[in-house]
Amino acid sequence: MDLKQGELAKHIGKTSIRMEHEPPLPEQYVQLRLRSGMGTKDLERSRIALAHSVFVVAIYDEDMLVGFGRVVGDQGITFVVSDIMVHPEYRRLGFAEWIMQEIDGFFAEYAYDDSFILLIANKPADLLYTKHRFEYLSPDRCGMLRNQKK
């Protein structure tokens, strides 16, 4: 299902829905993280992170950020899909799919055949990502996270 802005707005019965490819205000980003259950982040570090995003998808209902996703990386070899989140009152309406379609379009234009495109998914969100060409690692590979606690 290819969701364009007007189609999605009509689908959910709201004409106030819009998408932007500019980072939201850090306060909006942190607020959506909290509402969507992803936890809080420091406001100043959020400002820095958003400014260094390679690609951003921000969905608003009027002035409220209700959906978000971004790509970070070096813009040449490695890309990481990060922070895919949707406000709880807007879930199951196609917003996450719309975000991923925009990210797919970015990769179609700017990623290469030998690019590393990765993400870390929470379950059951992994089901969304498998629809967008993400695969589980093969048995000879493993994903790892560094423990940064001091």
CATH code, domain carrying 57? 3.40.630.30
Return mean pLDDT, the chain: 91
pLDDT at 92: 94
pLDDT score, position 103: 98
Domain limits at 70? 5-130
Query: What is the secondary structure of 78-122 as a DSSP string?
Result: EEEEEEEEE-GGGTTSSHHHHHHHHHHHHHHHH--TT-EEE----
Q: Note whether residue 71 is domain-resident.
A: yes
Parts of the chain with a pLDDT under 50: 1-2
Does 96 reside within a domain? yes
Is residue 100 a part of any domain in this protein?
yes
What global pTM score does this model have? Answer: 0.87
pLDDT score, position 1 = 40
CA distances to 28, 115, 117, 123, 143 from 77, in Å: 30, 5, 8, 27, 18
Contact 79, 116 (CB under 8 A): yes
Residue 148 lies in a domain: no
Q: How many distinct structural domains can be found in the chain?
A: 1
How many CA atoms lie within 13 Å of 86's alpha carbon, on the beta-carbon side? 15
149 assigned to some structural domain: no
**pLDDT tens digits along 79-95:** 999 999 999 999 999 99
